[in-house]
Structures are given as C-alpha cells and as structure tokens.
Amino acid sequence: MTQTHTIRRPDDWHLHLRDGDMLRAVLPHTSRHFARAIIMPNLVPPVVTAADARAYRDRILAAVPKGDDFTPLMTLYLTEDTDPADVAAAHAEGLITAVKLYPAGATTNSASGVADFTKVAKVLDKMAQIGLPLCTHGEVTDASVDIFDREEVFIDRVLDPIRRQHPDLRVIMEHITTSNAVDYVRANDKNLGATITTHHLVINRNHILAGGIKPHYYCLPVAKREEHRLALRAAATSGDARFFLGTDSAPHTDENKLLPCGCAGCFTAPNTMAILAEVFEQDGALEQLEAFTSLNGPAFYGLPPNGETLTLVRETPQFPAHIDTPDGPVTVFDPAMPLHWTA
C-alpha cells in the first residue's frame, strides 16, 4: 500500500477569503497548501472596478503568513454597469484573471449581480476579444424554479445562449452540482471548463436534511441527489482536463450559520487535500489527483503548473472542529468519513 503520494503543488480555482479579521484568520489554511487561488469578489461592497481589485489584492498579500508563497488571482464582480474599458485595462495590467457572473440574488452577497443579461453583452464581447475568462455562478433565481433545478435551468436559459452569442468567450462553470452540468461540459469541447468543490464530492442532499437540518452542510448551489454526486466524482477522477478543483471554501461564523435564515457555505480549506486524497483513493484514481488539483486548472487559464510539490502521507490527520476568529468560531467541514491522508 502506497505510504506517500507526491503531486505538483495545487491551486484553488474558486475561493472565498472575505476581508478584515476573517481574511487574516482563514487565509493561512489555504496558503499552507495552495500556491494560487481565484478570489471571489462578492464582498460588501463588491469588487467591481480595477481599483477595488487592486486594493483587495494588497490586503490579501498583507495577510499571507510569513514563509508562505501564495498568489491571489483577482476577479471582478460583473454588474450591469461594468465598464468594458476598465475590465480590459485591469486585464492588460495583469491585475485580474477572470470576471465573475452572479445572477442577482443567487448566493451570498449577490444582490449587485446581473438580472438583464443583454446589459452585459458589451463586456462579454470585450472579454472574448482579449481572452479574459468568465466564471459563472450557474443558477437562475426565478422563484418559480425549484432550487434543486436551478443549475439545469441556468444552462438552458442563460449559459447556452451566452455561449452561442459569444462563441470565443472562455467560460468556467463554477461549483457544478449535477449530472446535467457534467454532460454539458463533456458535450462542448471549445472554451468550456468546470470546477468541482470538495464538499460536493462527499455530500448529497440527505446530509443536509435527513435526521434533522444540518446547517454546516448547507451551501449554494445546494447539494443534490446521490446520482449527481456520483456523476461529479466520476468527472473529477476521470482525468478529463475540463474538470478541476475549485473548493468554494466559504467561511461563515457559527452565529451566522445557525440562524433561522442561515448563510450558505462550507469551510473546507483546512482539510480539502486530505478529503480529496481519500475520495480519489476510494475511487481507485489516486493517480488522477494531480491532474484535478494541479494541472487542469492552470491549463485552462493558460498558466504554467506550479514548480513546487506537495507530499501527502498516509497517516490519520487531525483537524479542529472549528477555527477561532475575532468574529467568532467558524466550523470546519466534516466529511462524515474517516480520513487516512495528511498533507
């Protein structure tokens, strides 16, 4: 039985770091293992201009622990008022790596997102022209659509029309949760990739609802049926270069999770690599872990893989139940299974 497994140092292609005290508390749990991360812009107020992104990047860099080598890859929050010239200038400067599309009201701090997609056509045209990728939160927010169907409907109503209107636009379907999304990616070879989270490889909707509501498993997009979880695992462990890791690690204090209307998000940064090693080994695909965590994402974004390595050791890891922050405790995601790898 293999006792160690060495891979190129991984990257996280979808990460929430928040700001202020929370940023300083959670960032070390990412920078310990990950060399780069796509940073989500849904702060309050959101990161909508190049100046916002520059200031946020500087706050992140100031919070990186001494001795850690970590590069934040910044994004802009797409609004109906986004200036194509500002986006192009930020890209030319090397300041931003992508632009993030949130349908208005889809998830945490998404009120400033897009409701009328015709109003962002000029921005998308410019992005296609300069080769700047679009990251999508793939859910519609129509109240008539069941929450478990929002991703499938988004593909039909929003994503596919956008890709037909802007065929040269590079698109990342972020944190996919359904077999429908997996099938859509596999059916489209050009300019389309998808991130998969750690927690969606592990939990289905029963983890949230069976035997009582468990708020720390509640995330958006919400976990779906077991058949969808299995489709995600098959995609992640396949080695297919269109699928790569985006943890969507999303810290919320317990006070904000354990409310009558609690926040969505799973904080997976501390134990993601241990969980992924377990999942890939369970599926007989440990040799594909490096592709999913370290190679496919850089290839899609046109970046080189990291030169450093990360070695996983076969030993039972120890993770805290929560981390303390000045804002209050943040519960660490519980994979509900034994883990046998330490990074």
Catalytic residues: 248
State how far the Cα of 302 lies from the Cα of 22, in Å rounded to an integer: 31
CA distances from 88 to 83, 144, 200 (A): 9, 37, 34
State how far the Cα of 289 lies from the Cα of 277, in Å rounded to an integer: 7
In sequence order, what are the residues at sequence separation of 6 or more whose Cβ sits closer than 8 angstroms to the Cβ of residue 121? 165, 166
State how far the Cα of 224 lies from the Cα of 227, in Å rounded to an integer: 8
What angle is formed at CA 279 by the lines to CA 273 and CA 281, rounded to 5 degrees?
Answer: 100
**Which of 255, 245, 331, 335 lies closest to 294 in space, CA to CA?**
245
CA distances from 238 to 11, 22, 172, 234 (A): 18, 35, 18, 6
Chain-centroid distance of CA 194 in Å reads: 10
CB pairs under 8 A, 24+ apart, for 302-305? 302/131, 303/36, 305/8
CA distances from 163 to 101, 156, 253 (A): 13, 11, 37
Q: Are strands 322-323 and 330-331 parallel, antiparallel or unpaired?
A: antiparallel
State how far the Cα of 343 lies from the Cα of 30, in Å rounded to an integer: 12
In sequence order, what are the residues at sequence separation of 6 or more whose Cβ sits closer than 8 angstroms to the Cβ of residue 144? none
What is the torsion angle, in degrees rounded to the nearest 10, for the CA atoms of residue 157, residue 162, residue 167 and residue 168? Answer: -140
